[in-house]
Structure 1
Amino acid sequence: MTGAPPLSSSPRIGRGFRLQWEEVQNCFVLLYPEGMVKLNQSGGEILKRCDGTRSVAQIVAELEQAFGMQGLEGDVVGFMEIAGKQRWLEWEAA
C-alpha cells in the first residue's frame, strides 16, 4: 500500500515479520529473518493492535482511550504509512 491507509482498512503484521515483547530490552520488537527492529513505546502500542480484525479507526479510538488523549489519528496513520512502506504492515479491505 502506498499513501495513508484508509480508516476502514484493517492492518496486520506483514508476512515474514513477528511482533513480540522482549523482556530484556523492555520493549516490543519486530523480528524478521534478516534482523530485528526495536520499537519505541508508541510503535509497539500501535503494532500490537494490528491483528487484521481492528480497523485503523478502531485502533485510533483504542489508543485515544487507553492514553486519555484525543487527536492521535494523524500520528497513528503517519506511523502506519511508514510501516506499510517498510512492509511491517499489510491491510485487509473493509
Structure 2
Amino acid sequence: MPAAAPWRPALARGVVLRHDPVRGADLLLLPERVVVLEGGAGGVLRLCDGVRDVPAVVAELAVRHPGAPVATEVPAFLHRLRKEGWLR
C-alpha cells in the first residue's frame, strides 16, 4: 500500500488571512465570522501556502525562532485548524 502524500496545508476556500492595523493583529476572515489570531499564529499561517508540507513549515519556523517549541506546537495548531475546517 503506498504511503499517504504529505499534508501541504493551505487556507480553506473562503478563508482569508488579513492584518488589521487598527487592532495590530492578524485576522482570519471566515464566511460568517472573524477570528482574531494571537501571538505568531498569523506568521505560521502565512507559511501554509499549499507548497510546503508540515515538516517544512516547522523547519522554517525553527530557523526564525530558535529554541521555541515549534516541533510540537505548530503541528498541533495546524491540525486543530484543519479540524475546524479553516485549512485544507
Aligned sequence identity (%): 32
Q: TM-score, normalised by structure 1?
A: 0.81
Q: TM-score, normalised by structure 2?
A: 0.86
Shift of 1:11: 0.3
Shift of 1:65: 0.5
Q: What are structure 2's unaligned runs of at least 5 residues?
A: none
Aligned length: 85
* Higher gyration radius (CA): 2
1:39/1:70 CA distance change after superposition, 3 Å: closer
SS in 1 for 2:76: helix
The one of the two structures with greater contact order (alpha-carbon pairs below 8 A, sep at least 6) is 1
Q: What are structure 1's unaligned runs of at least 5 residues?
A: 1-5
- Listed one character per residue, the Cα deviations across residues 3-62 of structure 1 (whole Å, up to 9, x for unaligned) are xxx8x3210001111011111111110001212000012211211111101111110011
Bigger fraction of residues in strand: 1
1:86 alignment partner in structure 2 = 84
